[in-house]
Structure 1
Amino acid sequence: MTDGIDNAKRAMRADLRERRQQRSAAALDAAEEGVKAQLDRLVDDLGVRSMSCFLSTTTEPGTREFIRDAVQRGIRVLLPITRADGLLDWAVAEADADVTEGIFGMPEPVADVLSPLAVNDVDLLVIPAAAVDRTGMRLGWGRGYFDKTIGSMEQCPPVYAVIFDSELVDEVPRDLHDQPVDGVVTPTRTVSLTH
Structure 2
Amino acid sequence: MNTDETGQQSSPKAVLRRELLAGRALLTKENIARDAAALASAALHLDRLADARTVAAYVSVGREPGTRALLDALRERGVRVLLPVLLTDNDLDWALYAGAEHLLPAGRGLLEPDGPRLGPAAVVEADAVLLPGLAVDREGMRLGRGGGSYDRVLARLTAAGAHPALVVLLYDDEVLAHVPAETHDRPVDAVVTPAGVRHFER
TM-score normalised by structure 1 residue count:
0.91
Q: How does 1:44-193 map to 2 (within 5 A)?
A: 46-153=50-157, 154-193=161-200
Deviating more after overlay: 143-152 vs 100-109: 100-109
Report if aligned partners of 2:43, 2:196 keep a CA contact under 8 Å in 1. no
Q: Which runs of 5+ in 2 are unaligned?
A: 4-8
Deviation at 1:6, TM superposition (A): 5.5
1:21 aligns with 2:25: yes
Match of 1:36 among 36, 40, 47: 40
| Partner Cα separation in structure 1 for residue 173 and residue 131 of structure 2 | 17
State the superposition RMSD in angstroms. 2.0
Deviation at 1:194, TM superposition (A): 2.0
Q: Which runs of 5+ in 1 are unaligned?
A: none
| Partner Cα separation in structure 1 for residue 173 and residue 111 of structure 2 | 24
| Partner Cα separation in structure 2 for residue 182 and residue 44 of structure 1 | 10
Report if aligned partners of 1:68, 1:94 keep a CA contact under 8 Å in 2. no
Deviation at 1:24, TM superposition (A): 1.4
| Partner Cα separation in structure 1 for residue 94 and residue 126 of structure 2 | 12
Distance 1:135 1:25, change over 3 A: same
1:77-101 per-position Cα deviation (integer Å, ceiling 9, x unaligned):
0011111223210010012333234
Report if aligned partners of 1:83, 1:103 keep a CA contact under 8 Å in 2. no
Task: Please identify the structure whose Cα radius of gyration is greater.
Answer: 2
| Partner Cα separation in structure 1 for residue 104 and residue 134 of structure 2 | 22
1:4-30 per-position Cα deviation (integer Å, ceiling 9, x unaligned):
996211111111111111111111111
Question: Which amino acid counterpart does residue 160 of structure 1 have in structure 2?
Answer: V
Q: Secondary structure at the match of 2:30?
A: helix
Question: Which amino acid counterpart does residue 171 of structure 2 have in structure 1?
Answer: F
Distance 1:191 1:74, change over 3 A: same
Identity of aligned residues (%): 30
TM-score normalised by structure 2 residue count:
0.88
| Partner Cα separation in structure 1 for residue 184 and residue 132 of structure 2 | 17
Question: Which amino acid counterpart does residue 180 of structure 1 have in structure 2?
Answer: P
Q: Secondary structure at the match of 1:34?
A: helix
Question: Which amino acid counterpart does residue 195 of structure 2 have in structure 1?
Answer: T
Deviation at 1:176, TM superposition (A): 1.7
Match of 2:6 in 1: none
